[in-house]
Every structure is written in structure tokens, then in C-alpha cells.
A and B are shown apart, each in its own frame.
Chain A
Amino acid sequence: MINEKAVAREAGEFEAVIGLEMHVELLTRSKMFCGCRNVFGCVPNTNVCPVCLGMPGSLPVINRRAVEFLCKTGLALGCDVAPYSKFDRKNYFYPDMPKNYQISQYDTPLTRGGAIALPSGKRVRLTRIHLEEDTGKNIHGGATIAQSQYTLVDFNRAGVPLMEIVSEPEIASAKEAEAYLGELKAVLSYLGVSDVKMHEGSLRCDANVSIRPAGSDELGTKTEIKNLNSFRSVGRAIAYEIERMRDCALAGERIVQETRGWDEASGVTHPMRSKEFAHDYRYFPDPDLVPLNLDSATIERWRDELPELPAAKRERYVSALGLTPYDADLLAADRPTAEYFERVAELSNAPKEAANWLAGDVRRSLQKHRLDLSESPMKPDQLAALIALVKDGAVSGKAAKEVCAVLVAEGGDPKTVVAERGLAQTSDASSIARFVEEAIAANAESAAAYRGGKEKALEFLVGQVMRASRGKANVELARALLKERLG
């Protein structure tokens, strides 16, 4: 009997074991424990109050909306929502932490279990999701802490509700980690609980990475990689770390359990300044808060309020609307895109065409103008109207591409754009015949080649007719006239 695991082990192969800890800032109007506004990018220390500054005598009050957002995320991911949970204090000193303890959840997270289904079909199980508060931000006077004469602290972020989603160590590669992240981001976007902007820090990722001989059941020594603030850096950092560990293992070096930082510029991880003493967070239940008791009616109401989620949408797009899996993935990736697509599909009654436009020309034009779909002046009814014009033969496919580019950048009624630019398709045989004559005259060699049996030459001539007519000629009619003339 051949034991594949044993074979792999003897071959000296390694497999990676990765667990992700995601921190998600929740999109509530106010902070986790006070009434301050929860918004990004304000003048430092303007969204603060005695509570989130940790003033003497101030007390926290739980933001019910944050609890709801977390539980809905849990319900969407198939987690068990705890009917009883409480908040604990995590004690440690750091200047960006107003109370020098963080209110978090230690042994009673709001949810346990659940999983994230990757597009590959693999399910990565979740350990827990809990609720806590964000810290402020240190702004160093110099380039690094060591070079700084002073450090300023901005407490606008202090107390922003933070949801921590912890996965089981079941992710096997950098690619899978990216897929996990993508799927989680899509779900959060659908639920509307986060703006999922990694570059603004509303979605942050720490990765626990270890390797072991392929086929082993034991976990190797792990490192925790911090400072991963984009999809790209998550993938690159994990790939780098796996290679680094592999090199260590092959060289017979010991892998040290430590926290490592990712340096985006140089593309390497490096050990972070290790704390002088081992942390003992001295967790204990926060006596300023009463335990959270969620009744099943509330939990069921939240479950009923869940929107259709990305996996279900993708499935429906393929099976009911006939999209390719690739287009379905693309269009279901975030809620605004999916909603846009569905609106265009509904108005035009042509889901496949809507998908083709959005996954093709629209996407390219958006990239060219560095726009998000939601930022484009082109509204769904305008794209739907364009699809209708093509269907009715009022504009050729080629001209429609030109119209589309205009709409993405400027918006407007496609009919007006067609008229203004003189792009209406012509099916008038006599005017097309004039372009046909010109094309044959100017490309005698191609005409001869076609007559000599080279089918491809005809398409070149069709192209010339279309070009001369600035895309307005009905392409089928042009082809027919050419064949007739050269036949």
C-alpha cells in the first residue's frame, strides 16, 4: 500500500498552515462605547469625548448596532450566535490606548464556528468572531520611533467598533489566503457592515504562518505577520514567509516563534522589536458593563434581514441568468457592482449582454479613467438603453463601444450620444455600396486574394468598409454586398 503522506515526507516536501485574524472596523454611525462620530479622515482629536479619551469617571455603554452588525456577519457565515456573552478588559500599557486596557471579549465571543466557502469549494472554518474597540493612532515626529523627538496621538479612531474574525489554521497557501480575504470582503460588503477599505485600515489582517512536513498532523512553530494592509501584501507576505521558513528548515535552522512585520517596499518580513517581557493581559470581566443577553427572536429577526449573499448570487447568475462562472464571480464580488448589474439586466431584459458590457468594455473604460463603477456618471438605465439600441440595430456593435466609452466618462442618453457623434447604423444599401466600391478599389490585392479563395481577405475588406463608414454600416449588409460584388 502506498502512503502518499509518507512519500511526500520522504521527499522533503513541506506544506504551509495559515490562520488569519481579520480586524474589521464596523460601519456604525457612532463609536463602540460612546456617541462620538465614527468617520475616517477628520482633523485629529475632533471626534473625541470623555469616554473615548478615557477621562477619569467616564463609563462605556455598548453600541447595540455594532452587536447587530457582528451577529449578522456571523449569521451570514453560518456561525452560532451566543445568547450570553460579556466584555472583558485586556490590560496593557500603550500610549494610543486611552484607558491602558482594551475592552474586548475573552472567553465569551459573540459567535463561534461558521466557515468561509472559497470559490474553489474549500471551506475554511472560523474559530470565533468577537467585538472590541479600536485604539488611537500614534503619529511619530520622525521617520521611525527611534528617530522621533516626540510622538503625537490622534484619538479619533479610539473606540471605533472592531470585529475580530479568527479562522482555524486551515489555509494552505498564499493564494488561498487571498481567496479567503476576497470572499470575506464580499460578504462584508453585501452586509453593509464595513466599507472594507484596506488602505484606510477599516479591514486589517494578521497572518499566523507555519510549515510542516507534507502530510504531518502536527503544527509547526508559527510566526505572526502584522502590517498587511492590502490584498497584494497579504499574498506576498505569506508567500515570502513560507519560503523563508522552508529555507530555515532545509538549512537545519530553528524557526523562532515571533511577531514579524511586513515591509511592502523591500518585500520581506522582519522580526518586530520583541517586548521586554512576556505579555500577561490579565483579562477579567469589565465591571463597567453588564453581560449581553440576546434572545432568539432578535437573532431570528437578524437572520431574516440578511441580504442574498455572494455565493448565492454567483450560483443564481450562472444557473438562472446563464452567465459564465468568470463573469458571475466578477459581478458578484461586491454589492454595488452586483446591484448595478442586476438593475441593467432587469431594465434591458438582457442579462448576458449586461454582463458582457460590465465585464468587458465598461470595466476597461473604468480602469482607464480610474473610476469605481459607483463613481461613473453612467447610470444603469443608460447602459440598458445602449443595449437596447444594439439589439434594435440602431447602432452597430463597434459604434456602441464608442458610445459606451463616452457614457462611462460623461454619462448621458446613449441616443443623444449616437446622434451627436453621427454613429447611427445605416442599412441603406446604396450608401454602403459606395463604401464597398471604395474598399475594393483601394485594396485590389485583398479583393484578388478573396477571389483566389482566401476567405480571410473578405473580413479585412469588411473592416475597411466599417472604417470608412465610421462604424455606421450594418456589418451583415456590408459583408453580403462585398460577397455579391466579388463573387
Chain B
Amino acid sequence: MTSGHEIREAVLRRERSAAEIADEALARIEAVDSELKAFLTLTPERARARARAVDEAVARGDDPGLLAGVPVAVKDLFCTKGVRTTCGSKILENFVPPYSATVVERLEAQGAVIVGKTNMDEFAMGSSCENSAFFPTRNPWDPSRVPGGSSGGSASAVGARCVPVAVGTDTGGSIREPASFCNVVGIKPTYGRVSRYGMIAFASSLDQAGPMTSDVRDAADVLEVIAGHDPMDSTSVDVPVPHYASSLRDDLKGVRIGIVEEFEESIAGDVAMAALYEAAYAKLRELGAKTVPVRLPHAKYGLATYYLIAPAECSSNLARYDGVRYGLRIADGGDVYAMFEKTRAAGFGDEVKRRIILGTYALSSGYYDAYYVRAQKIRTLMKGDFDGAFAQCDVIACPAVSCPAFELGAKADPVSMYLMDYFTIPMSLAGIPALSVPAGYVGALPVGLQIAAPAFEEGRILGVAHAFEQATKFARLREPLIAADRSRAESRA
């Protein structure tokens, strides 16, 4: 499968039809998904109908849109009208929304062909996709390992070359960490850049949707499509959306890149990882950038801050799942409170319950000031850290993750799982954009480089990432290791 922009050009030139591209994507999914389990729901009829509509538009000479004929996988927390949307949870196992998320509408309005809904950690809580209530998803670069999370299904689908484009969401690293694990590009935009309407909430002040793509150019195009003010989301900001593709660059002359001292100290203990990032920074300099050391003194409080704010918001956001209006209902005697309790006890998994309890506690009378209010103050300090850093540099380059993809079951202790977001959480708390771009391999496993910029400067990030990608081509250097591919290769041999 080629990239999204190549598909669009082929469709526009009528070298390929959107219909045959959609069939190819569906066939690829069928070949590999029994092993990867990236999808929760496939939408072949809807995809074929959409693809036909694109082909008809092209035949009429109409503009079929920036994503014409591009197969797209959608994380299963974006509401899709008429298509089951589970959020990876038993409590929404059979939930069919009566409306579509703004992101979904914008994708389809630009000719995207949605092929299915991808697996995820339940309610986006997790870093491995193992918290899905249905099944874990596997990493296409080593199916014994996790694809990362919570947008693991989307990352796995793109990494396995099922689709060139997926959308995920990132609250504390849920786009960047799986992008890093699956060798794809993933960008978490500025908070408020993309509408959250129709995106099932985990932590409202942090959640943000973003592209997960086979290359940087696709990330630019998809971001341009989904970004922009939405009257349905008061927190979406009315800042004009640039043509991101025009900020893509091939060299980095004159770019100042900040290297975070605290993060370098932290990664130094892992020789292979440290070497990989050192090589990445060297490549940036080779392309003409100047690297400068910067400090984020409050980054060390990121995890603690995040694990107060996100659970607090989720404890309230998830209160609506009570069995009254939609989703699972267990009413086998007792009053309405018994129904609430039984429904929620059966419908939510352990990690979701853990965070609801944490958040309920943090918001409780007598603890609110000590926890929630203080966490918000740290958040303000963290924004200040980034303001200080960006006074000295244009973008920050740093690790996206502390290790490559781990094996299923390796992080049974919740805190060890929480630590996976160590490098990504500070940007989430500050609300600034950050991206992970393939940066090479540790052994057979891919790892991503994180690039961050000030709010609404996604163009800078994409520009730097593009130069790095064009100079390295790490995503295409090797092919994923999926059994279906190996057996096909063997039979050919």
C-alpha cells in the first residue's frame, strides 16, 4: 500500500479507481487482521459506497477532496452514525450512535474511505491496547508484542500497511507512543486545534484527535482536513488552518532545535535507546539544524499531575454510562441505584474502575484543593517551562518513548504502564502540539522521535519531521513481520 497522497493523485489521474483501492485495503485487512486484531468493526459496504462516490465525482470532473479515495481506519471512540462505536468497552458493546463525530464528517467530506473502527484500550485508558474489553491488538513488527496504546489498533493498521491513514486520539501519549511502537507518523495537535465533538471523552481538557499515517505528508493533509473551529465544540479554537503541506521542508537550515536535558538524563541509562536518539539529533544537525540544550524543570511532576487531572475528569465523564439511555443495562431486581451499580460493575474493566476511583477521590471534598487544584497549578508551571524553552528554540526534539514495544503481559503493574507516557505527558498538560516520526530500530523494533512546538505551530513540527523522514526513510527501511506475509514469501520461494 502506498501513501495517502499517492493514492489521491492516482485516483485524480484516473490511473486507479477508489473502488479498487478500497478492495485492496479490505483484502489486506482480511489477510493480516486475524493475527493483528487491529479492527473491532469493519465497514466494507460503507467503504465501497464511499469509494464509488469518489470515482463518480472524478468522472464528473468534480473535486473529490483532499483525501479522495484514501482508505482510513478510525479509532473506535469516534462516533460513526449507524456504525457500532464501542470505545473498547463492554458498556458500549452494542452502542450505535445516531450521529457522527465532526472529525469523521470532515474526513468523509474530503473523500476519505472509512474501512473500519480500530481497537483501543477501554475508554482510551492504557498504553498497550491490552485494556480493550474485547481482545488485545498485536504489533505488526513483532506480533508477540503490543502495538502501544491507547490508539493501538490505528497504529497497528497503518504499521501493517492495511491503510495509509488512521485517526487516533491522544490524552497523555495515546497517538505518539503507539506511532513510535508501530513505525508510523502520529501527531497530537494543539489542544483546541481539532474538534472533540463526537469523540467519546476520557479527559476533556487533554483529549485531542490526530492523524496516524504512513508518512509526514499524509499527516499534514489529514490534519488540514480535520483541524479548525467547530461551533459544536466550545473548546475548539477559531484560528485559521494553514495549508500544512506547504510547510514541509527538505533541510533544516536556520532551525534551532531544543534538546531537553532532563529527558536526556532519563534516557541515558538505556544505551541502545540513547544511541538511537543521539543519532537522530546528529541527523537533524546534519540537515542544517542547530541543537540547543533546554530545561523543563517541572517535567518530573508530569506523571503525578496527569494522574490527578485525567482521572478526575474521567470520573465525571464516565458517570453517564448508567444503563438508562443506551449501552449495557443490568437490571435484575432492586432499585435504580442497584441497576447503576450492576451495570457499571459489569460494564467497565479494571483500569477504568481504577481511574474512576482515583478521580472521585481526587475531587472529593477536603481533597480537592490538595490534589486537583494543585495539579492545575503544576500544569500552569509546565506551560511556563515550555514558554521558557521555546524562547531558545523553534522546536523541541526528544524521545517519544523510553523503550521499544514490549511483550504482551510485560507491564502487569499499572504504574509501570503509566510510566510509558513519561516523555509525552508534559506536552499534553501544556496543550502544545507534538509528533512522533520513525527514528530507526532497536534490534528489530521501531522507535519514534518526538518533535514538539508552541501552540498552533504544527507546521513547524511537520516541516522538521518531513526533512528528517526524507533523509532517513526509516518507516520504509524494513517490512513488518506478519505471519501472512512470511508464509506468502515462503510459498513464493
List chain A positions with a Cβ less than 8 A from chain B: 50, 53-62, 89, 91, 93, 95, 98-101, 151, 153, 155, 280, 282, 284, 287-290
Q: How far is the CA of A65 from the CA of B422 in the complex (A)?
A: 44
Q: How far is the CA of A58 from the CA of B325 in the complex (A)?
A: 14
Are B92 and A56 in contact, CB atoms less than 8 angstroms apart? yes
With A56-B97, A57-B197 given, can you name 14 additional A-B contacts, CB distance below 8 Å?
A55-B99, A57-B79, A62-B234, A91-B363, A93-B319, A93-B340, A95-B324, A100-B320, A100-B322, A282-B315, A282-B316, A287-B204, A288-B235, A290-B234
Least CB distance from A284 to B in Å reads 6
Least CB distance from A50 to B in Å reads 5
Are B198 and A57 in contact, CB atoms less than 8 angstroms apart? yes
Are A284 and B372 in contact, CB atoms less than 8 angstroms apart? yes
Question: Nearest CB to that of B324 among chain A residues?
Answer: A95
* Option from A62, A101, A287, A288 in Cβ contact (under 8 Å) with B319: A101
Question: Nearest CB to that of A153 among chain B residues?
Answer: B324
Are B205 and A56 in contact, CB atoms less than 8 angstroms apart? no
Q: How far is the CA of A89 from the CA of B316 in the complex (A)?
A: 8
Are B79 and A60 in contact, CB atoms less than 8 angstroms apart? no
* Option from B234, B320, B337 in Cβ contact (under 8 Å) with A61: B234
List chain B positions with a Cβ less than 8 A from chain A: 77-79, 85, 87, 92, 95, 97-99, 101, 196-201, 203-205, 231-235, 312-313, 315-316, 319-320, 322, 324-326, 336-337, 340, 360, 363-365, 368, 372
Q: Interface of chain B, helix or strand or loop or mixed? A: loop
* Option from A56, A59, A60, A151 in Cβ contact (under 8 Å) with B320: A56
Question: Nearest CB to that of A51 among chain B residues?
Answer: B232
Residues on A with C-beta less than 8 A from B232 are 59, 61
Residues on B with C-beta less than 8 A from A56 are 79, 85, 87, 92, 95, 97, 200-201, 320, 326
Q: How far is the CA of A396 from the CA of B205 in the complex (A)?
A: 76
Q: How far is the CA of A89 from the CA of B101 in the complex (A)?
A: 23
Residues on A with C-beta less than 8 A from B87 are 56
Residues on A with C-beta less than 8 A from B336 are 95, 151
Q: How far is the CA of A289 from the CA of B238 in the complex (A)?
A: 15
Tell whether A58 pairs with B316 under 8 Å between CB atoms, given A53-B325, A151-B336, A290-B235: no
Residues on A with C-beta less than 8 A from B78 are 57
Are A57 and B320 in contact, CB atoms less than 8 angstroms apart? no
Are A100 and B319 in contact, CB atoms less than 8 angstroms apart? yes
Residues on A with C-beta less than 8 A from B372 are 284
* A to B CB contacts below 8 Å, 14 in the list: A53-B325, A55-B326, A57-B77, A59-B197, A59-B232, A61-B232, A62-B234, A91-B315, A93-B322, A95-B324, A99-B319, A280-B365, A284-B363, A290-B235
Q: How far is the CA of A99 from the CA of B318 in the complex (A)?
A: 8
Residues on B with C-beta less than 8 A from A289 are 234-235
Residues on A with C-beta less than 8 A from B92 are 56
Are A284 and B319 in contact, CB atoms less than 8 angstroms apart? no
Are B316 and A284 in contact, CB atoms less than 8 angstroms apart? yes
Are B325 and A98 in contact, CB atoms less than 8 angstroms apart? yes
Q: How far is the CA of A57 from the CA of B77 in the complex (A)?
A: 8
Residues on B with C-beta less than 8 A from A98 are 320, 325
Are B363 and A282 in contact, CB atoms less than 8 angstroms apart? yes
Are B368 and A284 in contact, CB atoms less than 8 angstroms apart? yes
Are A59 and B233 in contact, CB atoms less than 8 angstroms apart? yes
* Option from B85, B325, B326, B365 in Cβ contact (under 8 Å) with A282: B365
Residues on A with C-beta less than 8 A from B337 are 93
Q: Which of A54, A57, A155, A290 has the largest number of chain B CB atoms within 10 A? A: A57
Least CB distance from B248 to A in Å reads 32
Q: How far is the CA of A89 from the CA of B320 in the complex (A)?
A: 13
Are B231 and A61 in contact, CB atoms less than 8 angstroms apart? yes
Question: Nearest CB to that of B206 among chain A residues?
Answer: A287
Least CB distance from B2 to A in Å reads 32
Q: How far is the CA of A131 from the CA of B142 in the complex (A)?
A: 54
Q: How far is the CA of A59 from the CA of B236 in the complex (A)?
A: 11
Are B364 and A57 in contact, CB atoms less than 8 angstroms apart? no
Residues on B with C-beta less than 8 A from A57 are 77-79, 97, 101, 196-201
Are B316 and A101 in contact, CB atoms less than 8 angstroms apart? yes
Question: Nearest CB to that of B319 among chain A residues?
Answer: A100
Are B365 and A55 in contact, CB atoms less than 8 angstroms apart? no
Are B233 and A95 in contact, CB atoms less than 8 angstroms apart? no
Residues on A with C-beta less than 8 A from B204 are 287-288
Are A58 and B198 in contact, CB atoms less than 8 angstroms apart? yes
